[in-house]
Amino acid sequence: MSGLVVRTDGILQIEDEDVALLTAAGLRYSEATCKSEEEVIAAGQGAAGLLVLAEPITARVLDALPDLKVVARFGVGLDTIDIPAATARGVRIVNVPDANTTEVAAHAMALILTLVRRIPQLNGAVQEGKWGFRNGGEGIRRISQQTAGILGFGRIGRLVAESCRQLGFSVLVHDPFVDDSVVEAAGFSPVPLDALVRSSDVLSLHVPMSEENRNIIGREAIASMRDGAIIVNVSRGGLIDEVALAAAVSSGKLAGAGIDTVAEEPLASDSPLRGHPGILITPHAAHYSAESFRETVHRAYADVARVLSGQPPQNPVN
């Protein structure tokens, strides 16, 4: 067969073995660096397949690329792709939902434990020449006396919930798309969202970005949280009101936050999240390990080759 496949992110490191999956299927291949709809449209002319990271795949883009048959997303998030529009136009969307599950869960746990054990404050005190657990460690509480709230009970949320339970946390779960019986069968307690927020000493977010979820942890939710609680977000930016979060940590209402994704990336130089020892920020890195990165890229290329060869994809979204 013949056809053109275009990778539009211009960021990821691609290996020859990835491209070979396409050429072995008789496909042509090109690369571009795109950020806007216009750039995707220009680069994708004549393309049967696109490989994308965070580029906008909107109805307008889809209308402008009538030859398009498949779009593969490097990773799991789909908030930049108009799934209904793609489905209506017969464009198959595929992703890689599980290559970095353990990486993201481990990153969430690293942030949780770093904050609960006040590692930044303790390290800061030592660096200032102060020695002793009371220099930054005052107020550390036993994990078995704390409750971890898990917002989202997908692959990653379940792994974080289990990790928290193994450490001794009491664990509450909220996920409106997972039946309570499933949560209970896993040994956890399902609760409404407001109860989860009010009752958690640690609130860990594991939900996709959508208009319904935008600022799901907003000013009122933050105000209702337990004094001294922490928030961890390794999912998507935009789930938390960042101004309200920074104010709550600065005032002492919250003890801290661990943030891997922000509403606008990279983090702005004047972001209120910057410069606070109680707020840990990593650069959208929770997904990464050498192994998960390689697997994610290779599987995306493989699924494009499958679809354009007339085979069913490994990870269909629509």
Catalytic site positions: 236, 265, 284
Angle formed by the axes of helices 101-116 and 119-127, to 10°?
60
Q: Are 299 and 96 in contact (CB under 8 A)?
A: yes
Decide: residue 137, CB within 10 A, 0-12 exposed, 13-18 middle, 19+ buried: middle
Q: By the 8 A CB rule, do 55 and 13 touch?
A: no
The Cα–Cα gap between 213 and 244 comes to 16
Please spell the DSSP secondary structure of the chain, one letter per residue.
---EEEE--S-S---HHHHHHHHTTT-EEEE----SHHHHHHHTTTEEEEEESS--B-HHHHHH-TT--EEEESSS--TTB-HHHHHHTT-EEE---STTHHHHHHHHHHHHHHHHTTHHHHHHHHHTT--STHHHHTT---GGG-EEEEE--SHHHHHHHHHHHHHT-EEEEE-TTS-HHHHHHTT-EE--HHHHHHH-SEEEE-----TTTTTSB-HHHHHHSPTTEEEEE-S-TTSB-HHHHHHHHHHTSEEEEEES--SSSSPPTT-TTTT-TTEEE--S-TT--HHHHHHHHHHHHHHHHHHHTTPPPSSB--
Cβ atoms of 208 and 78 within 8 Å: the answer is yes
